[in-house]
C-alpha cells in the first residue's frame, strides 16, 4: 500500500499552519508544516513533498521567491498559494509561472481541497 502524499504547508502564521494541517489530515494526507520559506527549502523532508501550500507574503522570503528556488533546483512541485493580501498582479504572476491556484485567506476549504486533489491528478 502506498504512503499518503506529503503536503507542505509554508506560512509564517502558526494558526494557519495548524488549521490547514488538521484539515488536510482528515483527508488522509501527511502534512509537514514550516514557518518560513527558508525552513522549508532547508528541510530534509523536501524530497518527499508532493504539493506545497505556500503563503505569498512572508517575511524574509516571499512565496514567489520560494517558487523560484524550487524551479532553480529543478523541483517541479505543484503549488497552491494562499494570501491575505489583495495584490491581484502578484497572484496573476504566480499563476503565470505555474501555480495551481491563488486562494485568499481565510481559505475556502472546498476550494483548497479541489486544488490539492488537482495537484495529485484526482480532479
Number of domains in the chain: 1
Does residue 110 or residue 95 have the better pLDDT?
Answer: 110
Cα(57)–Cα(55) distance, integer angstroms: 6
Q: Residue 102's closest CA among 79, 68, 78? A: 79
**pTM greater than 0.85 (yes/no):** yes
| pLDDT value, residue 1 | 65
Do the domain assignments include residue 30? yes
Beta strands in the chain (DSSP E): 6-10, 30-34, 49-55, 79-83, 101-104
| pLDDT value, residue 77 | 95
Lowest mean pLDDT across 1-10, 37-46, 112-121: 1-10
Domain encompassing residue 32: 6-119
Handedness of CA 66, 54, 11, 120 (dihedral sign): negative
Do the domain assignments include residue 96? yes
Burial of residue 19 (CB within 10 Å: 0-12, 13-18, 19+) is middle
Amino acid at each position: 500500500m502506498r504512503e499518503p502524499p506529503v503536503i507542505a504547508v509554508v506560512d509564517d502564521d502558526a494558526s494557519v499552519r495548524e488549521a490547514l494541517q488538521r484539515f488536510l489530515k482528515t483527508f488522509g494526507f501527511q502534512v509537514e508544516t514550516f514557518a518560513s520559506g527558508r525552513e522549508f527549502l532547508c528541510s530534509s523532508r523536501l524530497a518527499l513533498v508532493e504539493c506545497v501550500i505556500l503563503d505569498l507574503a512572508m517575511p524574509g522570503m516571499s512565496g514567489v521567491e520560494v517558487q523560484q528556488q524550487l524551479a532553480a533546483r529543478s523541483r517541479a512541485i505543484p503549488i497552491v498559494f494562499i494570501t491575505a493580501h489583495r495584490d491581484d498582479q502578484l497572484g496573476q504572476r504566480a499563476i503565470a509561472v505555474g501555480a495551481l491556484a491563488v486562494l485568499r485567506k481565510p481559505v475556502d476549504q472546498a476550494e483548497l481541497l479541489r486544488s490539492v486533489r488537482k495537484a495529485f491528478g484526482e480532479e
